[in-house]
Structures are given as C-alpha cells and as structure tokens.
Amino acid sequence: MEINCDDHLNKIADLFCDTEVDFEELAKSVKKILLAIGEDPEREGLQDTPKRVAKAYDELLSGYRADPKKLINNALFDVAYDEMVIVRDIEYYSMCEHHMLPFLGRAHVAYIPTNKVIGLSKIPRIVDMFSRRLQVQERMTRQIAEFIDAVLEPAGVGVVVEGMHMCSMIRGVKKHDSRMTTSAMLGVFRTQMGTRMEFLNNISRGAQSLHF
Ligand code: ZN
C-alpha cells in the first residue's frame, strides 16, 4: 500500500511511508538468532520458525502501516453534544522498543466534543494503530491523545494507559507485578481540574486490576 506521508493525518499517525516488511530478510535474521543462541534451526520444531516469526512481527507491528483514513472512514459525525465521552478498558498489545518484548494492558480514552464525535468502535482501532509498533508506553499514550485531538478537534482529550511490561516481569529484576500508568491530558483535561477528576474517577470506578 502506498502511503502519502505529506498527508496531514498520516503525519500525525507517524507512519512508515516508503517501506514494506521484508519477510525474507526478517526470516533470515531469525534464523541467525537461532544459530547465535546455539540452536539448530534445522531441527523439526524450528524449521518453519523463522517464517512464522516474520509473519508474527508483521502482525504485531502492523500499526506503522495502518491507514488512518480508512480507520475513521464514515465514522465522524456532527453532533451537538458537549459532555464527556469515555471509552474505558480498551485492551492493547504492544512491543517495548528497548527489548522487543511485549507490553500489554488497558487504555482509557476520553474526550469532550465540540461538534464532532467518532464512532465508539474506532477508538480501540486508534489505540491498535499506535500500540502495534515498537513503543514506549509514554509515547504511545501521547500519540493516541494527539491523534484524537487532531481528528476531532475536541475541547479536550484524556488518555490513561496501564501496562505490564514483560521486559521487567520475566527478566532483570523480575518484578512480576510491576505495572506502569501513563497519561496524556490535552485541552480542558489539562486546564480544568474538575474535568480531569471526572475522567479519573470514572476509570477507577469498578476497575479490575490487570491479571494474567
Ligand atoms: Zn523493555
């Protein structure tokens, strides 16, 4: 798919423009990793692993080449509504860019429309677009907020993301229960304490803790 990176929306989505996933090169690299760790890439269980891993990466990192136009297509509505819209507990799966290990959790998104609202099912897809990349949770949180801000031009956007990071859970200090919360507050979510509190109270109410 050709992505026009001069396009305003594509710029905000921070896409990869002129590249495609090179499956062959990716599979070759995985085979090299197998050799480097002392494995035998020819043994039965590993024969197709490089190809499988290449496919898996393509899927896990598909957010770089998502089409934001398609994603919000026909889902923007002119509505005279100026109360807070909240979508909470959006599951996401991402990959930490430091270790290329998964981090996952839930995102909570809120905005106060001025005259445009977006179909509710689209917000999780916006989260997917930014989570299916090599990420740090802080940047992902900000990107989600800024994208919604650009598309809807709302009075404000709030995004809170909770994440469990495999890189700290299964290696290093092995903090099995370490979770991180990040937030991005724009517009009235930044300037008005009451608005921010309404959002934060809502998402903490009845929230289940993250479990495996
Ligand atoms: Zn990491």
pLDDT of residue 187: 98
Query: Which among 24, 25, 97, 153 is annotated as catalytic?
Result: 97
Torsion over CA: 77, 120, 104, 162 (sign): positive
What are all long-range contacts of 21-30, with beta carbons under 8 Å and residues at least 24 apart? 21/54, 21/57, 21/58, 21/61, 23/51, 23/54, 23/55, 23/58, 26/50, 26/53, 26/54, 26/57, 26/58, 27/51, 27/53, 27/54, 30/54
Rounded Cα distance, 17 and 26, in Å: 19
Res. 1 pLDDT band, cuts 50 70 90: low
| CATH code 1.10.286.10 region(s) in the chain | 21-60
Tokens at 72, concatenated = 């919000």
pLDDT in tens, 77-108: 998 888 999 999 999 999 999 999 999 999 99
What is the CA angle 131-135-138, rounded to 5? 95
pLDDT of residue 211: 63
pLDDT of residue 5: 73
Distance 59 CA to ligand 1 centre (A): 19
Distance 177 CA to ligand 1 centre (A): 15
**Whether the predicted model's global pTM rises above the 0.85 cut:** yes
Q: How many residues does the chain have?
A: 212
pLDDT in tens, 129-159: 999 999 999 999 999 999 999 999 999 999 9
CATH class of 21-60: mainly alpha
Res. 21 pLDDT band, cuts 50 70 90: very high
- The answer to whether residue 8 is catalytic is no
Query: Which among 96, 135, 146, 162 is annotated as catalytic?
Result: 96
Res. 18 pLDDT band, cuts 50 70 90: confident
Res. 207 pLDDT band, cuts 50 70 90: low
Rounded Cα distance, 42 and 46, in Å: 6
pLDDT of residue 178: 74
Tell me yes or no: is domain 70-204 CATH 3.40.50.1260. no
Query: Which among 108, 135, 137, 162 is annotated as catalytic?
Result: 137
Contact assessment for residue 105 and residue 162, using Cβ atoms and an 8 Å cutoff: yes
pLDDT of residue 208: 67
| CATH code 3.30.1130.10 region(s) in the chain | 70-204
Q: Phi/psi of residue 61, each to 5°?
A: -115, 25
pLDDT of residue 39: 98
Query: What is the chain's mean pLDDT, rounded?
Result: 92
